[in-house]
């Protein structure tokens, strides 16, 4: 029987297109503890863009800025501000993955081609996803360079904050498009529905959203997809779509095995986090039961806790890391739970709405 799976091995990297990659790289080194590993730009023979590759644990970020006035990257930034362009997958065979995806209805973004330097050859291709987001397929073929062909080693060590890998990446799409994109991930990439939430799960007095989580076979790559639900006022998804100029990545969740250490480090580095009311912590013991962490620590750091039948998780959400109220980050530590903090949705949503009200966008 023939194998029709795309054989996605892992998220190879997440690429952000940004207005000033040098400064963005400094921010992610100093604020989030990512170390710089490689650079590509004029000095390495790349004429149209400059890119900085950063890593922490198994998490890799690429920050790219245009070097030409009229360019696709420049237009992307003009429309969206800084944001995620590419969620890139490592695969065994990029050509095969691309051909299978296109045969299932994916729109090509980059035809399969070889990229090479003195360290070896990599095959690369890409397809279009929601908005201007793409998914690259990368087969490394034993490549031995510092990152990818065209990048030169440019190490700058940062103080590690305990981030291990990408846990999940959340996309925001327009009203009525969530199921369409869930079906796309199922048909094109072979993902399955991992979990779903409706407006009864994620709502406040004013606004609501709906979400479906799509996952690969191994449940190691998870993509929740949100859409706004009708409400009395503008939801956080509506605000995102307005300021991002369409669908895109709302947040990247980063896994840690010691969230207290990670949160302390990031707060000391100036990262700002959403804060729920203190009353949330008064009700926490009866809602989630016994946890390993000290209640006063969880309260003082503003960490959220949720329990399901498999265990519990701890999570915390940053405020947007751009001037536009768009992209933010989540820190998550899993103590058995494979969920997404359903019990925290209302408190989190209300915290986001307070920020929206300050911005005049609720």
Which tens digits make up the pLDDT trace of 186-203?
999 999 988 765 545 555
Same domain? For 310 and 195 the reply is yes
CA–CA distance, 237 with 351 (Å, rounded to integer)? 14
311: left (phi over 0), alpha (psi -120 to 50) or beta: left
Residues 140, 175, single domain; the answer is no
| Boundary of a domain, candidates 110, 133, 156 | 156
- Tell whether 327 and 182 lie within a shared domain: yes
Domain residues for the domain of 248 are 163-359
Q: Tell whether 70 and 146 lie within a shared domain.
A: yes
178 plus 326 within the same structural domain: yes
Q: What DSSP assignment string belongs to 138-192?
A: EE-TT--SSSSTT-EEEEE------EEEEEEEEEE--TT-HHHHHHHHHHHH--E
Q: Quick one: pLDDT band at residue 233, thresholds 50, 70, 90?
A: low
pLDDT in tens, 252-293: 999 999 999 999 999 999 999 998 888 888 888 888 999 999
Instruction: Confirm whether 101 is domain-assigned.
Output: yes
In-domain check, residue 146? yes
Q: Residue 281 and residue 303: Cα distance in Å, rounded?
A: 9
Q: Do 93 and 121 lie in a common domain?
A: yes
The Cα 70–Cα 67 span in angstroms is 9
**What CA–CA distance (Å, rounded) separates 84 from 223?**
14
Q: Are residues 66 and 175 in the same domain?
A: no
- Beta carbons of 76 and 132 less than 8 angstroms apart: yes
What integer pLDDT is reported at residue 5 of this predicted model? 78
- Structure tokens of 202? 């994620």
Q: Which residue has the tokens 């605000």?
A: 239
Contact (CB, 8 A) for 299 and 283? no
Average pLDDT, the chain: 91
- Please check whether residues 212 and 125 belong to one and the same domain: no
| pLDDT number for residue 85 | 98
Q: Extract the tokens encoding 219.
A: 């449940």
**Same domain flag for 105 and 202:** no
- Whole-number Å distance between alpha carbons of 182 and 188: 10
Q: Are residues 137 and 169 in the same domain?
A: no
State residue 54's pLDDT score: 98
Nearest Cα to Cα of residue 80 among 209, 280, 247, 199? 247
Tokens of 34: 């990512």
210 and 131 assigned to the same domain: no
95 and 186 share one domain = no
Whole-model pTM: value is 0.94
Q: Is residue 48 included in any domain, yes or no?
A: yes
DSSP category for residue 309: T
CATH code (residue 178): 3.10.180.10
On whether residue 183 sits in a domain, the answer given is yes
**Domain C-terminal end among 119, 134, 156:** 156
**Which of 156, 187, 211 is at the close of a domain?**
156
Helix (H, G, I), strand (E, B) or coil at 134: strand
pLDDT in tens, 86-117: 999 999 999 999 999 999 999 999 999 999 99
Task: Give how many domains the chain has, as a whole number.
Answer: 2
Contact criterion met (CB below 8 Å) for 252 and 204: no
Q: What are the tens digits of pLDDT across the range 5-54?
A: 788 999 999 999 999 999 999 999 999 999 999 999 999 999 999 999 99
Would you state the structure tokens that stand for residue 2, as one six-digit string? 């023939």
Look at the block and give the residue holding tokens 């729109």.
Answer: 107
Q: How far is CA 353 from CA 94, 147, 234, 241, in A?
A: 42, 40, 9, 15
Domain assignment present for residue 1? The answer is: no
């Amino acid at each position: 029987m023939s194998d029709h799976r795309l054989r996605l091995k892992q998220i190879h990297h997440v690429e952000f297109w940004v207005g000033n990659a040098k400064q963005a790289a400094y921010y992610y080194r100093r604020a989030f503890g990512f170390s710089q590993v490689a650079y590509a730009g004029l000095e390495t023979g790349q004429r149209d863009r400059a890119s900085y590759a950063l890593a922490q644990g198994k998490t890799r970020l690429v920050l790219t800025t245009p070097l030409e006035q009229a360019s696709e990257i420049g237009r992307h930034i003009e429309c969206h501000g800084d944001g995620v362009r590419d969620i890139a997958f490592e695969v065994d065979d990029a050509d095969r993955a691309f051909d299978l995806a296109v045969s299932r209805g994916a729109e090509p973004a980059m035809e399969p081609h070889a990229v090479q330097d003195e360290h070896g050859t990599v095959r690369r291709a890409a397809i279009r996803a929601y908005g201007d987001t793409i998914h690259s397929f990368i087969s490394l073929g034993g490549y031995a360079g510092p990152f990818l062909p065209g990048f030169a080693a440019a190490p700058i060590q940062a103080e590690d904050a305990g981030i291990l890998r990408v846990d999940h990446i959340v996309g925001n799409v327009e009203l009525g498009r969530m199921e369409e994109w869930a079906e796309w991930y199922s048909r094109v990439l072979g993902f399955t529905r991992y979990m779903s939430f409706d407006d009864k799960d994620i709502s406040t007095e004013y606004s609501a959203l709906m979400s479906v989580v799509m996952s690969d076979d191994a449940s190691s790559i998870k993509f929740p997809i949100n859409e706004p639900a009708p409400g009395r006022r503008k939801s956080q998804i509506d605000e995102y779509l307005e300021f991002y100029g369409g669908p895109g990545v709302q947040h990247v969740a980063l896994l840690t095995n010691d969230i207290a250490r990670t949160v302390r480090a990031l707060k000391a580095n100036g990262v700002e986090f959403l804060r729920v009311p203190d009353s949330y912590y008064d009700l926490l013991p009866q809602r989630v039961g016994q946890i390993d962490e000290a209640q006063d620590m969880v309260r003082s750091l503003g960490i959220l806790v949720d329990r399901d039948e498999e265990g519990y998780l701890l999570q915390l959400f940053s405020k947007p890391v751009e001037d536009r109220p768009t992209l933010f980050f989540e820190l998550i530590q899993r103590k058995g739970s494979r969920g997404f903090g359903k019990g925290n949705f209302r408190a989190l949503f209300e915290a986001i709405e307070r920020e929206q009200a300050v911005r005049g966008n609720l």
